[in-house]
Chains A and B, each alone.
Chain A
Amino acid sequence: MTAFVAQRLLATIPVLVMVALFVFLMLRLTPGDPAAIIAGDNATPVQIEEIRERLGLNDPLPTQLAIWAGKLLQGDLGESFFFKKKVTELILQRVEPTLALATTTMIITLLVAIPLGVLAAYRQGGWLDRTVMGFSVAGFSVPVFVLGYLLIYVFAVELKWFPVQGYKSISAGLWPFLHRLILPSLTLSVIYIALIARITRASVIDVLGEDYIRTAKAKGLTNRTVLVKHALRNAAVPIVTIVGIGIALLIGGVVVTESVYNIPGLGRLTVDAVLGRDYPTIQAVILVFSFVYVLINLVIDLSYTLLDPRIRY
């Protein structure tokens, strides 16, 4: 077990190095003069030179890489052009709303998608199954921002149940916090529910064909026990895998949802940084999101042993 954990941790390192290398090379291998592009069309040569200096583009490539990697290892992600602050500080300020949004989205998704998937599998071919499958195709196709505006229009503008936009920290009280978070989380969870419900259904259907399910039914267990204790438990590994892979989808969705609902999180920071030509911040956000994505998937890999005692390393 310890050997397995160590081996998985070690296998993650090359991926993280590769990601960092990509993010580093993205700027350096841009056709043309990256400093001029970042400075914009109206920049003077002095401004361009200043940007080149601040990004360290005047040194030879290996030197640049060494300096950049050295800073990265110390948690120094550079300094924002636009916000005139350390990027690390900037990111820490913006983490809370994104974390809140992602967590509520995840809770809604799991509460809705797993029961739906299990029921659809149980009644395979029935109306519920067809509805879930139809919803899952539709959920993949309606863009997050279209759905977001649709929900805002119906529930905030017409019905006035929720505020249109904005974010309140949890320190302002639980209700104001949740009240503003419900619509964005619902918006973001739709595509994720579509994905997870579909996988849950497929994976439970697979398990329902097994002999031990027939045995469990034959010895008189209730449908509920069979579905939850026997089928779902054994279908858990593929579901959890997709939850992990889907984090990439969630991160993309966060960027859009935060823009639609005006939530000052990391997603909004990304868009603001692009519009403000704030390259160090863009670079840092991509790096942080990718690292989080890789690490969540590492944790999920490690959790397989808990979910399925047959998996031993």
Chain B
Amino acid sequence: MTSPDLVDSAAQAAASAERPGLLRQLSRNPSVVFGTVVLLVMVVLGLLAPALDTLDPAGIDPAWRNKRPGTEHTITLPSGQELEYVHRMGTDSLGRDLYSRVLYGARISLVVGLAVAVISIAVGLVIGLLAGYVRWLDGVAMRVMDGLMAIPGILLAIGLVSLWGAGLATVIIAIAVPEIPRVVRLVRSIVLSIREEPYVEAAISVGTPLVPILYRHVLPNTIAPLLVQGTYVCASAILVEAILSFLGVGIPPETPTWGNIMAEGRVLFQVFPHNILFPGVFLALTILAVNLLGDGLRDTLDPRMAKRF
């Protein structure tokens, strides 16, 4: 009989042999590298926005409205000091510096993307595990999810935000709710296939209770697909947040978000396209980066799924 120690050390050896390989594989994947680099840049821009020569993103200056990118401007600070400032991306129709607003806008987009991904994955994981393992719950939960999935995501989010009032928290929840059913289905399908595996049957046969089985055997199998799914949810959440803000039903207009900047710029868009162009490019680039990261993760972590697309 093999001693447990031997099995453990073998498993550890396998794990440690696999880990650097996986990281190296990821670092060789151009999609992963591009996505990570762009995202890191966005995170740095968002976090360090106050230090990157920005003005108050909400600071209105009626005398300096609708300036084109590159306009120089002598600002008198409250202290009486004079400051030579270049509006790198111009100003909007209230005289706010667009460069500052775009940089601060990265914060909202990234927070929404991350929060929605975490919330929908966490809730979907719990419901999916239960639905996959508790027979009587399965039917009910899946019918509810089918109904939820039949409502187009953006409409559901718009409906929820219109009832809960605009704000960061409500926007995050409203975007997360329509994403949950997809996660639930994914987790449930994994659970249904894993529970038939011999090692799970073996665990059940020696009397392992439900919770350790889920924790030790089922949960690890969901990590890779959920990581991939999470990046796609994140990309879609960033997009939906921008759409909600753009339509005027998202985060309140004074908060600098890319969607809000564009919503504000749409009236004078034909004369001053930079109000839409700059936040639009940042938004598209961020979503592209997250999507590419997802594609790269999927190709490396989940080759079965990669074959399909």
B-binding residues in A (CB < 8 A): 14-19, 21-23, 26-27, 30-31, 34, 37-38, 137-138, 140-146, 149-150, 152-153, 157, 164, 198-199, 202, 248-249, 251-252, 255-256, 259-260, 270-271, 274-275, 277, 279, 282-283, 285-286, 289-290, 293-294
Known: A31-B164, A141-B287. A19 touches B151 (CB 8 A): yes
List the count of A-B residue pairs having beta carbons below 8 Å apart: 148
Name B147's contact: one of A15, A286, A289 (CB within 8 Å): A15
Bound-complex Cα distance A199 to B276 (A) = 31
Query: B159: which A residues are within 8 A, CB to CB?
Result: 23, 26, 282-283, 286
Bound-complex Cα distance A293 to B148 (A) = 12
For window 116-159 of chain B, which residues contact chain A by CB distance below 8 Å?
Answer: 143-144, 146-148, 150-156, 158-159
Are B146 and A15 in touch, CB under 8 angstroms? Answer: yes
Bound-complex Cα distance A34 to B280 (A) = 35
Residue of B nearest to A248 (CB): B152
Are A157 and B288 in touch, CB under 8 angstroms? Answer: no
Are A290 and B162 in touch, CB under 8 angstroms? Answer: no
A-binding residues in B (CB < 8 A): 143-144, 146-148, 150-156, 158-165, 235, 239, 242-243, 246-249, 262, 266, 269-270, 273, 276, 280, 283-284, 287-288, 291-292, 295, 308-309
Residue of A nearest to B288 (CB): A141
Are B162 and A21 in touch, CB under 8 angstroms? Answer: no
Residue of A nearest to B263 (CB): A145
Are A143 and B308 in touch, CB under 8 angstroms? Answer: no
A48: min CB distance to chain B, Å = 15
Are A137 and B295 in touch, CB under 8 angstroms? Answer: yes
Q: Interface SS of chain A: helix, strand, loop or mixed?
A: helix
Name A290's contact: one of B150, B248, B262, B291 (CB within 8 Å): B150
Residue of A nearest to B147 (CB): A18
Name A202's contact: one of B156, B262, B276, B308 (CB within 8 Å): B308
Bound-complex Cα distance A17 to B239 (A) = 30
Are B249 and A274 in touch, CB under 8 angstroms? Answer: yes
A123: min CB distance to chain B, Å = 18
Instruction: Provide a sorted-by-A list of 6 A–B residue pairs whose CB atoms are within 8 angstroms.
Output: A19-B150, A146-B283, A152-B270, A252-B152, A255-B154, A259-B247
Residue of A nearest to B284 (CB): A142
Known: A15-B147, A18-B143, A141-B287. A282 touches B162 (CB 8 A): yes
Query: B155: which A residues are within 8 A, CB to CB?
Result: 251-252, 255, 270, 285-286, 289-290
B107: min CB distance to chain A, Å = 18
Known: A143-B280, A143-B283, A143-B284. A22 touches B147 (CB 8 A): yes
Name A37's contact: one of B148, B153, B165, B283 (CB within 8 Å): B165
A235: min CB distance to chain B, Å = 13
Residue of A nearest to B290 (CB): A141
B216: min CB distance to chain A, Å = 35
Query: B160: which A residues are within 8 A, CB to CB?
Result: 26
Bound-complex Cα distance A215 to B249 (A) = 57
Are A251 and B152 in touch, CB under 8 angstroms? Answer: yes
Bound-complex Cα distance A30 to B273 (A) = 39
Are B163 and A18 in touch, CB under 8 angstroms? Answer: no
Are B147 and A275 in touch, CB under 8 angstroms? Answer: no
Residue of B nearest to A150 (CB): B280
Query: A23: which B residues are within 8 A, CB to CB?
Result: 151, 159
